[in-house]
Amino acid sequence: MYHLYTHNDLDGVSCGILAKCAFGEKVEIRYNSIGGLNDQVARYLERPKKKSSLIITDLSVNEQNERGLDAYYRAGGKVLLLDHHKTALHLNEYPWGKVQVEYENGKLASATSLLYEHFIQQRLLKPTKALDDYVELVRLYDTWEWEKAGRVEAKRLNDLFFMVSMEEFEETMLERLEDDDQPFAFSDFEDKILNIEEERIERYVRRKKRELVQTYIHDRCVGIVHAESYHSELGHELGRDNPHLDYIAILNVGGKKMSLRTIHDHIDVSEIAARFGGGGHSKASGCSMGEEVYRLYVSETFTMEPVRPDAFKNKYNLKDSPFGTLYENRKEQQIFIFSSDKEWEVDVDDQECSERFSTFAQAERFVKRRFSAWLVRDEAYVHYLMEQRSDKRSRALVLV
């Protein structure tokens, strides 16, 4: 008998689907949250089952279970842990641990792709077109490579996963993957409900964009929003719209969880999550909401006003404009970015900043991070320019 303990997200549940394809009724699967795995493993080690194999995927264990699993393995027990999070790399020191973050070709690994390869190598599964396609979609979504690869169906697969029950998703995918020769595809009905879901997600994200607050936490410029749903979509959209932010923190106070997302290669949110006892990927991680997380991200930011989004229907106040670009913030400061001698300068309420920038993007990043400012509408921009022209004319008359 096989026992599979895995995560309860798309990547983890897909490991369960592969295990059922390989073992049929000879596998018992338990889907766990990040915090629930260790209790599950501890119970297994207390009463190890004879002639059984334990497989753990997409999650890692604490130090106590690490020692327990090693003792169990050395006593003749069969155990395999497969993971792809860099916070679990130390488990490669054990013969039962295999942690791989990325492949030799530079592609990032997922638990599903690692387990699929393991089953093929052990001749427990034969590769098929349907399985190949499905495993790749899961890998693309879980590693956030789907957008770069132009594979929106990977995101739609995750949307479908959250739209139906875990049992229904598992049953549907098992039936579809039995068709060896056909590539993996959604049914017509699934396509229709996924289109409806995409519209719902767009409305939800659009509303949450207006609730984003900005602050500095541990020297990082952070965007914070409270949301219970669609964390990946929300994190992606907010990060893309606000590239000056180092990362996005999505808070679910009811669920006592925090999700972290970034679009930047130089920011590793798994390190930030690890500071609070969590973990994950470099661009997508999470942790439980303990006292310190609550204080830093909820309590100390609760009274902050949201940062307004940039005006998006402008014809005159445009970014990188040769006539200059105007921003404002909650303190009603007016920040003007303009080009001078092949450099970009910044004026704050007509006071020149000492900083100089070689590109407009650098200047705007400085303005947004330092002043929490947004691009104003054309009306305010034209009024500002008229005032500047009037002031210059007045000063000229005084000099005369």
What is the full DSSP assignment across 252-291?
Answer: ETTTTEEEEE---TT--HHHHHHHTT-EE-SSEEEEE--H
Q: How far apart are CA 333 and CA 329, in angstroms?
A: 6
Q: Which long-range contacts (CB under 8 A, 24 or more apart) does 32-37 make?
A: 32/5, 32/6, 32/7, 32/8, 32/59, 33/7, 33/8, 34/7, 34/59, 34/278, 34/279, 34/286, 35/288, 37/5, 37/61
Q: How far apart are CA 129 and CA 284, in angstroms?
A: 29
Residues with Cβ within 8 Å of 94's Cβ and at least 6 positions away in sequence, in order, are 66, 69, 70, 73, 81
Measured CA to CA in angstroms, residue 44 lies from 40, 57, 164 at distances of 6, 15, 30
* Burial environment of residue 321 by CB neighbours within 10 A (0 to 12, 13 to 18, 19 or more): middle
Strand partners, 340: 343
CB 375 within 8 A of CB 327: yes
Measured CA to CA in angstroms, residue 380 lies from 54, 209, 346, 383, 387 at distances of 65, 22, 17, 5, 11
pLDDT at site 180:
67
Q: Which two tokens stand for residue 82?
A: 């497969």
Exposure on the CB side of residue 27, measured as CA atoms within 13 A: 20
Q: Look up tokens 């990362």; give the residue.
A: 247
pLDDT at site 47:
84
pTM: 0.80
Q: Look up tokens 């989004």; give the residue.
A: 309
Q: 334-366 burial, b for 16+ CB within 10 Å, e for fewer?
A: bbbbbbeeeebbbbbeeeebeeebeebeebbbb
Q: Which of helix, strand or coil describes residue 1?
A: coil
Q: How far apart are CA 292 and CA 298, in angstroms?
A: 10
pLDDT at site 390:
63
Tens of pLDDT, residue by residue over 12-71, are 999 999 999 999 999 999 998 877 899 999 999 998 777 889 999 999 999 999 999 999
pLDDT by residue, tens only, the chain of 400 residues: 999 999 999 999 999 999 999 999 999 999 988 778 999 999 999 987 778 899 999 999 999 999 999 999 999 999 999 999 988 999 999 999 999 999 999 999 999 999 999 999 999 999 999 999 999 999 999 998 898 899 999 999 999 999 999 999 999 999 999 876 788 999 999 999 999 999 999 999 999 999 999 999 999 999 999 999 999 899 999 999 999 999 999 999 999 999 999 999 999 999 999 999 888 888 889 999 999 999 999 999 999 999 999 999 999 999 999 999 999 999 999 999 999 888 999 999 989 999 999 999 999 999 999 999 999 999 999 999 988 866 544 443 333 3
Beta-sheet strands, E only, within 152-272: 213-217, 220-226, 247-252, 257-261
Q: How far apart are CA 387 and CA 200, in angstroms?
A: 44
